[in-house]
Amino acid sequence: MRVRTPCRVEFQTRHGECCRAVNAVSAAFCQLPAGVLPWDQATCSDQRQRACGEIHVRKSDWLLNLLMAAGVALLVNENVSAATVLSNLGQPSSGTAFIGTNNPPTGANLMRGETFTTGTNAQGYQLNSVTLEMSAANGNGLGDFVLELRSTDSFQRPLTAIGSFLVTANPVTAGQYTYQFADPNLVMAPSTRYALVARSPTSTGTTASQYAWPNTFGSGQAAPGWSFGGPWSGQEGSTSWAPLRNGPQKYALDVTAIPEPESLWLVGGAAILLATRRGGTL
């Protein structure tokens, strides 16, 4: 059976032989009375066929084409879905990095950094979230917990903040805490070193008041091209950072690889080509 778009009025009257339908279904689709004779290509010119709006696609083919196009779209979407690219959660701890006041009368609040290197996706990555594995905090003067994404220098030391995470709960008790990245438009470049920096600039008290972020020498899991870096120690108000020797901090990083522009065209182009592969028009 052939399916047609609605025929123009002038061709229904002047070229009725080109707008004939097969049965009541196609007749209604083409706005013609039921019971007329089937399509007769031998008596119609190509121009009149086009004027009558014939689409050379059977109904069964049309459904198949749509399903195939949807499959292509799902395939492309799967390639750009969110993924955990780094994780060493659950590994045995080898030490703890403290964030906050260490010696309130004489020292500035401590900051802790953890570096990592992104994968090789040419268009870069969207940072979705990070999950930290934390030990119990201590002290009576804890301030808010702050977590930032920072660039790094040629020595892999943390530099200035380029984004922050939404800390919905301070990690006071031991456990895992997932924080969403605040800026969905920020793109991390491929094969580039970045740093997660934990701070608590408002922690005070007469004794140490600190959040506790464990380290591990355990083997974490890294997606192809991605790698763990190392931990760093800094102080509020200072640009100096010193490396720590206890292995990477314990965390998991979730990102989305930004697709190539050609991948986005593939979805739309495949839908059109598949839906019209018998030579018709939409």
Co-location of 215 and 105 in the same domain: yes
Does residue 84 have a pLDDT over 70?
Answer: yes
Average confidence (pLDDT) over 11-35: 43
Co-location of 188 and 198 in the same domain: yes
Does residue 78 have a pLDDT over 50?
Answer: no
Q: 234-267, pLDDT tens digit by residue? A: 999 899 999 988 899 999 999 999 998 865 555 5
Q: 88-102, pLDDT tens digit by residue? A: 998 999 999 999 987
Q: How many whole angstroms separate alpha carbon 222 and alpha carbon 85?
A: 6
Q: What is the pLDDT of residue 73?
A: 45
Residue 11 has a CB neighbour count (10 Å cut-off) of: 17
Q: What is the pTM of this model?
A: 0.68
Co-location of 252 and 266 in the same domain: no
Does residue 273 have a pLDDT over 80?
Answer: no
Co-location of 174 and 190 in the same domain: yes
Q: How many whole angstroms separate alpha carbon 98 and alpha carbon 117?
A: 23
Does residue 49 have a pLDDT over 90?
Answer: no
Does residue 176 have a pLDDT over 50?
Answer: yes
Co-location of 29 and 154 in the same domain: no
Q: 101-120, pLDDT tens digit by residue? A: 876 656 779 999 999 999 99
Do 216 and 91 contact (CB within 8 A), yes or no? yes
Count up the domains in the chain and report the number.
3
Of 15-24, 79-88, 151-160, 240-249, which gets the smallest average pLDDT? 15-24
Co-location of 214 and 144 in the same domain: yes
Percent of the chain with pLDDT over 70: 62
CATH number of the domain enclosing 153: 2.60.120
Co-location of 205 and 275 in the same domain: no
* Domain coverage including residue 157: 82-257
Residue 128 corresponds to which amino acid?
N
Do 127 and 230 contact (CB within 8 A), yes or no? no
Q: What is the pLDDT of residue 101?
A: 87
Most confident option among 32-36, 39-43, 155-159: 155-159
Does residue 28 have a pLDDT over 80?
Answer: no
Cα 208 off chain centre by: 39
Co-location of 41 and 104 in the same domain: no
Co-location of 70 and 173 in the same domain: no
Does residue 5 or residue 98 have the better pLDDT? 98
Do 12 and 66 contact (CB within 8 A), yes or no? no
